[in-house]
Amino acid sequence: MKKLSVLFLVLSLVLSVGSLALGQGVLKVATEAGFMPFEYVDAETGALLGFDMDLIREIGNVLGLEVQIDNIAWDGLIPALLNGNYDCLIAGITITDERKEAVDFSEPYFESVLTVVAKTGGGISSLDDLAGKIVAVQINTTGDFTASDLYDAGDVKGVSRFDTVADAMQAVIIGAADAVVIDLPVAEAYLEANPSAPLNHSGPVSDNEFYGIAVNKNNKDLLEKINGALATLKAQGIYDAIYQKWFGGM
Ligand code: ARG
């Protein structure tokens, strides 16, 4: 080989190793940022804020990875992970047996529960009160699964499925649906952020749920790293600080 081509070979090898290392230094994350206080878009800056956003950034910090977060459709999160477009998902995703068939979950990082949101004074304050009613949900959420089970049992009149929480809430506000079944902390945050909405919520109506960070099943290495980072953040008090920041007043 000529000296020059050897030089180019060495040069391109150095360059490709360099860019590989750069690629490895990034944690590509997807969320659906319509789920305050876990993930939402700051109205003024467009920044992604929330409990989950702080948590995943701190996980990146522990792992020495640059965290890049995309805000995509809720229903597209798991497909995008399976396609290899992302390394992990954090979006208030409840760990369920069905989802565990498709993806791996980190250790649970948050304990949650469902509630029922309905018009103030409308007499709906439990799942039983939904008999004969139209229930609005974000599609393919645990709220949807609960409402769909009620529908199958003949205990609600219909289930309206929306792409976003905001649209489901709006359906109740305009009277197109009677109630939303949704994660309680998100109902709280919505009611606080929309004080003029004529809505209230009933309190817990389900067994507790646990949120996990979803990772591709072929990426056990990352799963272990994320679990390790979660343990580190708990041990260092950083997890508690994030919790206090978003839920301290509750
Ligand atoms: N915890 C519920 C579930 O996993 C709802 C999550 C919705 N998350 C979101 N970012 N919209 O089904």
Residue range 63-95, pLDDT digits in tens: 999 999 999 999 999 999 999 999 999 999 999
For residues 135 and 250, what is the distance between their CA atoms, to the nearest angstrom?
Answer: 27
Ligand 1 within 6 A of CB of 89: no
What is the pLDDT, as a whole number, of residue 16?
46
Ligand 1 within 6 A of CB of 51: no
Output the CA–CA distances (angstroms, integers) from residue 118 to 29, 161, 215, in the order listed: 33, 16, 35
Q: Which residues pair with 181 in a beta bridge?
A: 116
Pocket test for ligand 1, best of 29, 93, 105, 181 (most atoms within 8 A of CB): 93
What is the pLDDT, as a whole number, of residue 21?
41
Ligand 1 within 6 A of CB of 32: yes
**Which atom of ligand 1 lies at the shortest distance from residue 140's CA?**
12
108 C-alpha vs ligand 1 centroid, how far in Å?
Answer: 14
In CATH, what is the architecture of 6-111+209-247? 3-Layer(aba) Sandwich (3.40)
For residues 95 and 214, what is the distance between their CA atoms, to the nearest angstrom?
Answer: 9
3-state secondary structure at position 110: strand
52 C-alpha vs ligand 1 centroid, how far in Å?
Answer: 12
Asked whether this chain's domains 6-111+209-247 and 114-201 adopt the same fold, the reply is yes
Could you give the residue ranges of the DSSP H alpha helices within the chain?
3-24, 51-63, 77-82, 97-102, 142-152, 165-173, 184-193, 220-235, 238-247
Ligand 1 within 6 A of CB of 238: no
13 C-alpha vs ligand 1 centroid, how far in Å?
Answer: 44
What residue ranges do the domains of the chain occupy? 6-111+209-247, 114-201
For residues 199 and 193, what is the distance between their CA atoms, to the nearest angstrom?
Answer: 12
For residues 232 and 234, what is the distance between their CA atoms, to the nearest angstrom?
Answer: 5
Q: Which stretches of the chain drop beneath a pLDDT of 50? A: 1, 11, 13-22, 250
Question: Do strands 114-119 and 179-183 pair parallel, antiparallel, or not at all (unpaired)?
Answer: antiparallel
126-151: per-residue pLDDT in tens?
999 999 999 999 999 999 999 999 99
3-state secondary structure at position 92: coil
Structural class in CATH, domain 114-201: alpha beta
Question: Do strands 134-138 and 158-162 pair parallel, antiparallel, or not at all (unpaired)?
Answer: parallel
What is the pLDDT, as a whole number, of residue 24?
66
Ligand 1 within 6 A of CB of 92: yes
Output the CA–CA distances (angstroms, integers) from residue 158 to 1, 130, 148, 162, 218, in the order listed: 74, 10, 8, 13, 38
Pocket test for ligand 1, best of 38, 142, 146, 207 (most atoms within 8 A of CB): 142
